[in-house]
Amino acid sequence: MTLPGFAPAASVYETQAEFLQRAFSKTQPAPAIIWLSGERKTNVSQMLGHDYPAMRLRYWCQAERSAWILEEIGKELPITVGVIIDQDYIQSLRVLTYRENRGGEVASPAFSDQFNGASLAASGALDTEIDGISGATLSVHALTRLANVALFLHGESGCTDGA
Amino acid sequence: MAKAGVPMARKGNGASVPRRLHRFIGVIAALYVIFMVFSGLAINHSNRLGLDQGHVSQAFLLDWYGLKAPEHIQSFAVGDDWVSFAGSQLYLNDMVVSTVIHGKGAVSGNGMIIAAGIDELILLDHDGKLIERIAWAAQGPEPVESIGLQADGSVTVKAAGQLWLADAELLNWRQAEASSNIPFWSETTAPPDSLRQSIEQQYRGGELSPLQLLLDFHSGRIFGTAGVVVYDFLALAVGFLAISGLFLWARGRRNGKRKG
pTM of the entire structure? Answer: 0.73
Whether residue B106 is found in the same domain as residue B199: yes
Query: Best residue in B120, B136, B171 to probe A by mutation, most A CBs within 10 Å?
Result: B171
Domain-located, residue A140: yes
Full domain range(s) for residue A76: 11-158
What is the total count of domains within chain B? 2
Full DSSP string of B145-161: EEEEE-TTS-EEEEETT
Domain-located, residue A134: yes
**Whether B10 contacts B3, CB under 8 Å:** no
Query: Best residue in B130, B136, B172, B173 to probe A by mutation, most A CBs within 10 Å?
Result: B130
Which residue, A123, A126, A122, is CA-closest to A150?
A: A126
> Which helix (H) or strand (E) covers residue B232, if one does?
helix B224-259
Query: Best residue in A19, A50, A55 to probe B by mutation, most B CBs within 10 Å?
Result: A55
ipTM: 0.80
> Which of B125, B135, B171 minimises the CB distance to A16?
B135
Domain-located, residue A20: yes
Domain-located, residue A138: yes
Whether residue B172 is found in the same domain as residue B78: yes
Domain-located, residue B58: no
Q: Indicate the Cα dihedral angle A71, A73, A77, A80, nearest 10°.
A: -20
CATH of the domain at B118: 2.130.10.10
**B152 CA to chain A: closest CA distance, Å?**
22
Contact B135 A2 (CB under 8 A): yes
Where does the pLDDT of residue B245 fall: very low under 50, low under 70, confident under 90, or very high at 90 and above?
confident
Residue predicted with more confidence, B99 or A3: B99
Domain-located, residue B234: no
Domain-located, residue B46: yes
pLDDT > 70: percent of chain B: 93
Domain-located, residue A91: yes
Whether residue B176 is found in the same domain as residue B117: yes
Q: In Å, how far are A65, A157, B8, B208 from A84, measured between CA atoms?
A: 7, 14, 87, 41
Domain-located, residue A109: yes
Whether residue B85 is found in the same domain as residue B118: yes
Mean pLDDT, rounded, of chain A: 89
Full domain range(s) for residue B116: 73-204
Where does the pLDDT of residue B15 fall: very low under 50, low under 70, confident under 90, or very high at 90 and above?
low
Domain-located, residue A3: no
Per residue in A26-85, pLDDT (tens digit) is: 888 999 999 999 999 999 999 999 999 999 999 999 989 999 999 999 888 889 999 999
Whether residue B182 is found in the same domain as residue B222: no
Using the Cβ of A29 and the Cβ atoms of chain B, whether some distance falls under 8 Å is answered with no
Whether residue B157 is found in the same domain as residue B223: no
Contact B133 A1 (CB under 8 A): yes
**CA distance linking residue B115 with residue B105, whole number of Å:** 6
Using the Cβ of B99 and the Cβ atoms of chain A, whether some distance falls under 8 Å is answered with yes
Domain-located, residue B236: no
Per residue in B117-143, pLDDT (tens digit) is: 999 999 999 999 999 999 888 777 789
Please say if the pLDDT value at position A5 is more than 50.
no
Parallel/antiparallel/unpaired status of strands B81-86 and B120-124: unpaired
Rg of the Cα trace of chain A?
Answer: 15
Domain-located, residue A6: no
Residue A26, classified by CB atoms within 10 Å of its CB into exposed (0-12), middle (13-18) or buried (19+), is: exposed
Helices B17-44 and B224-259: crossing angle in degrees, nearest 10, is 130
Domain-located, residue B8: no
Whether residue B89 is found in the same domain as residue B135: yes
**CA distance linking residue A107 with residue A89, whole number of Å:** 20
